[in-house]
Amino acid sequence: MATHLSLEPAELPADAIEVGRIADAWGVKGWFKVLSHSSSPEALYSTKQWYLLPSERGAKTFTGTVRLSIRQAKDHSDTVVAWAQGIDDRDAAEALRGARIFIPRSSFPSTTEDEYYWVDLIGLDVTNREGVALGRVQELMSTGPQTVLVLAYEHNGKAQERMIPFVSAFIDKVDLPEKRITVDWQPDY
C-alpha cells in the first residue's frame, strides 16, 4: 500500500542548521523517532517548524525541501520522538525515515553568558594569551564530563590536530563577532 505524503514544499532558511535525522516510525499514530546531532536537543523542542531534506541514500519519498509543523516533540528513553501535522499513521511516519532535519539558527533557544552552541564555535580561530595561532576549530567532541575543541593546523606542511578542553580553566574568551577564541594553552602541550 503506497502512502501519499502531503508535505508542504518550502524554501530552506538561509540560517538553517542540520540538527538531526528521522530514524523510524514510533507507534501507530504517526509519531517518529529522531536521532539528534546534539546531546542536548533543545532546538528540536523550541521550534514548531522543522525543515526536511530527503536522505542522501535509499528511497526518496519526497524531493526538495519541505516544512513540517510539529505538534509535539519530547524525550522518550534516550531518544527524541515527535509528531507532526499531516503525519497521522505509521506508514506516513515510515515514509519520512532518513530525512535530514534542519532548524533555522534564529529559532534556537537563547544561550546564557558563557554558553555556546557547538555550531557557533566551529570555524573560529584559536590563539593563546601570547597571540600564538593554535589552529581553527574543526569540530567539538564530548568526552563525557567535558567538551573538547578539536583544532586543525599545519606544522611543516602537514595537517595536524590539537585538542583543548573547553573548560574555564583554559578558555579565556570566546569572541563570536571576531570569530576568535583566546586560550591559556601552549603550542607544545
Q: Tens place of pLDDT for every residue, the chain, 189 residues?
A: 445 567 889 999 999 989 999 999 999 999 999 998 876 788 899 899 999 999 888 778 888 999 999 999 999 988 899 999 999 999 999 999 999 999 998 888 888 888 888 888 989 999 999 999 999 999 888 777 788 999 999 999 999 999 999 999 999 999 999 999 999 999 988
Helix (H, G, I), strand (E, B) or coil at 18: strand
Three-state secondary-structure class, residue 43: helix
Q: Where exactly are the structural domains of the chain?
A: 8-107, 118-183
- Are 162 and 108 contacting, i.e. CB atoms less than 8 angstroms apart? no
* CATH top class, domain 8-107: mainly beta
Helix (H, G, I), strand (E, B) or coil at 45: helix
For residues 154 and 162, is the Cβ–Cβ distance under 8 A?
A: no
CA 87/CA 71 separation, integer angstroms: 10
- What pLDDT is recorded for position 4? 54
Which stretches does DSSP call E strand in the chain? 8-9, 16-25, 32-36, 49-53, 66-76, 79-84, 100-104, 125-128, 133-142, 147-155, 158-165, 171-175, 180-183
Residue type for position 104: P
Residue 180 is classified by DSSP as E
pLDDT of residue 84: 96
Sheet holding 180-183, edge to edge: 158-165, 147-155, 133-142, 125-128, 180-183, 171-175
Considering the domain 118-183 in this protein, what is its CATH number?
2.30.30.240
Q: Return the CA Rg of the chain.
A: 20
CB under 8 A, 24+ apart: contacts of 115-119:
116/174, 116/176, 118/38, 118/147, 119/17
8-107 matches 118-183 in fold = no
